[in-house]
Chain A
Amino acid sequence: MIRSLSPDVIARLRDIVGARNVISEPDRLVVYESDGLTAYRVSPLAVVLPASTEEVSAVVSLLGREGVAVIPRGAGTGLSGGALPTAGGVVVGTARMNRILSIDEADRLARVQPGVINSRLTTATEPYGLYYAPDPSSQSTCTLGGNVAENSGGPHCLKYGVTSRYVTGLTVVMGDGRVVELGGAHRWAAGTPDFLGLFVGSEGCFGIATEIEVRLLPLTEGVRTILGIFETMEAAGRAVTEIIGSGLMPAAVEIVDKATIEAVEASVFAAGYPTDAGAALVIEFDGTEAGLDEEAEAAARCCRANGAREIRSASTEEERVALWKGRKKAFGAMGRIAPDLLVQDATVPRTRLPEVLARITEIGEEYDLKIANVFHAGDGNLHPNILFDRNDQDEVDRVEAASKAIMTLCVQVGGTITGEHGVGVDKRQYMTLVHNETELDMLRRVRRVFDPSGLLNPGKVVPDPDGAVA
């Protein structure tokens, strides 16, 4: 492991990106020690902030020649430790690469640099009657480059799909500094394998996307949002299954459980959800105005048939915001009841939701932990949030044990260990739950095709052959 960068390397990095865009002072490196998963912290040797594809290429080439690991970083909002520095590595941040390069109204495409904030793209394209569909919960701060690296989802991905559906082309700096083009909206006929799809979700291990071409959609004409209040999570889960099975296609179906409702209602984010409820279900339809009322009413009937004691409907944007508030402010509200929060992420077949939710409750009781569930119910993407205090080592150990129990449960019912947060460092230890050694070996082989030196984001995604995950 390299313990420090030589003055010569620092000087050459400064030559490439400018002196102010190389950070090596220990006190300024603190903010780069972790991403959204704060349980892990490692200080990088330096942080470099290039502004163009050429600068990224030059930086990666230089660090490659020096044998220094490169950790790509967007806004650092990831929840699996994907942007956690590797000891002896240099963080290459995309914060300065924040330009929207073009908006092509006729072809409904945009080309952006990776540091563009997700929601800023929609703000910029709305005047053209267009928007960018993937909407991770962190969309007001996360970057499109990070979204590409993680293949991010979001509440409305139930209807519209995740990031990979919208990325049509990429400019990529490979591990050796070469610049390559993948995909392109006009290249359908080329008949090449889907290298672009393989790259999306590769968590910074295959290269750094420096330009991203994305497909845009026309703004929807109307939206209807309803809130179903249930006595139990199981009943809410059954309602979800019935709604989807009935042929309705909501834009979003989100659940918050009793623990979350209590946290939200006790906080400054109080949304008016009844605190004695077992679960609240937010269901949203969008599209052509005509027909939305009947779709919302059909969903409401499914809720009532499965025991909803109350249905609230939004008829104005203000009311819609209010119905969503309990869901969107859930994470912020939890800070009030525990100093630390582990946001878990797993996916199960939708019909298994009721039994999985019941079992997660039991796991919380077994390990004496408070677990609050907020998740994308429509596609079975769970987010069990474990509340704890990192200063209590015994509690930290129980959090790890409970996490493993939840991951094992989700895999046993036919699900997987992550639906949208990625593997990063946090889920490496669980990769053996979903992949055997043959499959893990293939993941390593494919990684080497893109990055033979192994210097791009090492220590992420795939456990080492000897089983090491830390």
Chain B
Amino acid sequence: MNKVEAIEDVLGVEALGSGVGLSLPGGATPEHVVAPRDAEECARLMRWATSSGIGVLPVGVGARSRPFESEGRWVALSTERMDGIETYEAADLTLTAAAGTPMADVAAAMRPHKQWAPFDPPRVGEGTIGGFVSVADSGPLWAGYGEVRNHVLGATIVTGDGRILRLGGRVVKNVAGFDLLKLVVGGRGSFGVVTSVCIRAFPEPIEDRVLVLASASLPELAGPALQVATAPIVPVSSVIVDRLPTSDTPGLVIRLHGSRVTVDADQRRLEAHLGLKLATIDNRATFAAEVSNRGASDDIVIRVSTLPSLLGGLLGVVDGAGASSVGLDAYGARGRVSFSESEGSQAARFLDAASALGATVAVESAPHTSPLWARADEKTSHEAELMDGLRRAFDPEGVLWPTRS
């Protein structure tokens, strides 16, 4: 039995597609794309792959950005057939959906109930809930709502050797055993294939106000940004961008949520703390989305983080780096810096300069042949050791991500 016949035998012919059309960075084109319908089918596939010595690359719906090259036999696993909201308990503020469900569908389901998922990483509306949880990038709204990891209540995953694990549940507080869910959220598929997710929904804010402080340069925003980060109120987000959607100047964008009365008072307190007036933006939804995407819009994207008190030094480095797009969360002193060059020399210099300041940096996106990928993450030796041990626990034969170290 050849590979095609074997997969058809395991999952049925409709689960099998060709790799043509699936563009994976790195130029890798899988011989086959397999799309199981649910956790049970996914488990059968993983058990077959384990017994056959075939690698499996979870690709979600194909939006991943890291390069992949494998010399062995491998198939890509798509979640596109795992699509649909399984349960939505609006009164309990919980929603469970299959991994391939578009985040846009999740938002559409919540909207009639005046609820939402308060996360705003770049292009969040374009991906699936499985991809969103696997990457677990909260976006600047974490300041007001907390990180994604705090609001993923449960997930079903399939391990590398085909075991189905139902982790967490659909209640907000749950300490029944070690919190393996935390590994899955943000684990980028390293520990298993996410097939279903339960997330917490939030009531939509009555008032969503976007305020702006424009500036002539990025370094000039360091002072106001630190003042916002130490203000007596915590805005739900505060972002430094190199270019405001309404002008070509850098600016600090602040969002306040709450009742009208509360937001009015918060704005007054914030302006008193800063000693200046902030401009109010009218078309806030479009504006906020454009702000969220800053820093993640070009060939090379660098993630960077430091402490708020060190933001001034970092902004000085960013200012002279030749970046094409910048979006830094002022409350968390973290975000993205993009470069439009293809060779990566400016980005490399930025990585070195930011590292010299003590900032943490990592490459998020780059051309697939770029040497920058050597700096795709920044594990300590202990973290690398833990990573290896945990991957062996979840994927003893190394089926998932067949060439990832």
- Given A161-B150, A186-B359, A189-B361: A107 touches B175 (CB 8 Å cut-off): no
Tell me, in angstroms, the Cα distance from A108 to B264 when the chains sit together. 25
Q: A354 interface residue, CB < 8 Å from B?
A: no
**Do A422 and B175 have beta carbons less than 8 Å apart?**
yes
B180 to chain A, nearest CB (A): 6
Q: B266 interface residue, CB < 8 Å from A?
A: yes
**Do B173 and A381 have beta carbons less than 8 Å apart?**
yes
Name the residue on A nearest B309 (C-beta): A106
**Do A153 and B173 have beta carbons less than 8 Å apart?**
yes
Most chain A beta-carbon contacts within 10 A, residue among B93, B170, B175: B175
A463 to chain B, nearest CB (A): 10
- For A188, what are the chain B residues with a Cβ–Cβ distance below 8 Å? 303, 305, 332, 334, 360
A464 to chain B, nearest CB (A): 14
Stretch of B12-20, B32-40, B104-112, B371-379 that contacts chain A: B371-379
- For A248, what are the chain B residues with a Cβ–Cβ distance below 8 Å? 203
Tell me, in angstroms, the Cα distance from A107 to B149 when the chains sit together. 21
**Do B176 and A417 have beta carbons less than 8 Å apart?**
yes
| Cβ-defined partner of B175 (8 Å) among A150, A180, A288, A447 | A150
**Do A185 and B171 have beta carbons less than 8 Å apart?**
no
**Do A415 and B169 have beta carbons less than 8 Å apart?**
yes
**Do B92 and A350 have beta carbons less than 8 Å apart?**
yes
Q: B383 interface residue, CB < 8 Å from A?
A: yes
Tell me, in angstroms, the Cα distance from A423 to B163 when the chains sit together. 24
Name the residue on A nearest B142 (C-beta): A188
The number of A-B residue pairs with CB atoms under 8 Å apart is 248
Stretch of B3-11, B122-130, B386-394, B397-405 that contacts chain A: B386-394
A119-160 with Cβ < 8 A to chain B: 129, 150-151, 153, 157
- Given A188-B305, A418-B175, A442-B180: A288 touches B269 (CB 8 Å cut-off): yes
Q: B204 interface residue, CB < 8 Å from A?
A: yes
Name the residue on A nearest B386 (C-beta): A195
Tell me, in angstroms, the Cα distance from A248 to B206 when the chains sit together. 10
Most chain A beta-carbon contacts within 10 A, residue among B174, B269, B332, B383: B174
Please, what's the 1-or-0 string for B348-390, where 1 marks a CB less than 8 Å from any CB in chain A? 0000000000111110100000000000111110110011011
Q: A294 interface residue, CB < 8 Å from B?
A: yes
Q: A431 interface residue, CB < 8 Å from B?
A: yes
A47-64 with Cβ < 8 A to chain B: none
- Given A165-B146, A194-B149, A446-B393: A419 touches B178 (CB 8 Å cut-off): no
**Do B265 and A349 have beta carbons less than 8 Å apart?**
no
- Given A190-B377, A442-B180, A449-B389: A241 touches B175 (CB 8 Å cut-off): no
**Do A107 and B334 have beta carbons less than 8 Å apart?**
no
**Do B177 and A461 have beta carbons less than 8 Å apart?**
yes
Tell me, in angstroms, the Cα distance from A2 to B307 when the chains sit together. 48
- For B324, what are the chain A residues with a Cβ–Cβ distance below 8 Å? none
Please, what's the 1-or-0 string for B151-188, where 1 marks a CB less than 8 Å from any CB in chain A? 00000000100011111011111111111101101111
- For A365, what are the chain B residues with a Cβ–Cβ distance below 8 Å? none
B109 to chain A, nearest CB (A): 16
Tell me, in angstroms, the Cα distance from A348 to B303 when the chains sit together. 39
Q: B234 interface residue, CB < 8 Å from A?
A: yes
**Do B176 and A427 have beta carbons less than 8 Å apart?**
yes
**Do A245 and B383 have beta carbons less than 8 Å apart?**
no
Tell me, in angstroms, the Cα distance from A418 to B177 when the chains sit together. 9
Name the residue on A nearest B164 (C-beta): A438
| Cβ-defined partner of B179 (8 Å) among A197, A218, A219, A288 | A197
| Cβ-defined partner of A462 (8 Å) among B177, B258, B264 | B177
**Do B179 and A200 have beta carbons less than 8 Å apart?**
yes
A-B contact pairs, 12 of them (CB 8 A): A104-B309, A180-B380, A182-B383, A187-B305, A190-B305, A192-B378, A193-B387, A197-B185, A198-B182, A249-B203, A350-B92, A380-B173
Known: A201-B178, A446-B390. 20 other contacts (CB 8 A): A106-B226, A108-B229, A108-B230, A189-B305, A189-B378, A193-B188, A197-B182, A197-B185, A198-B179, A287-B258, A290-B264, A347-B172, A350-B92, A379-B172, A380-B171, A380-B173, A414-B171, A415-B171, A419-B173, A423-B175
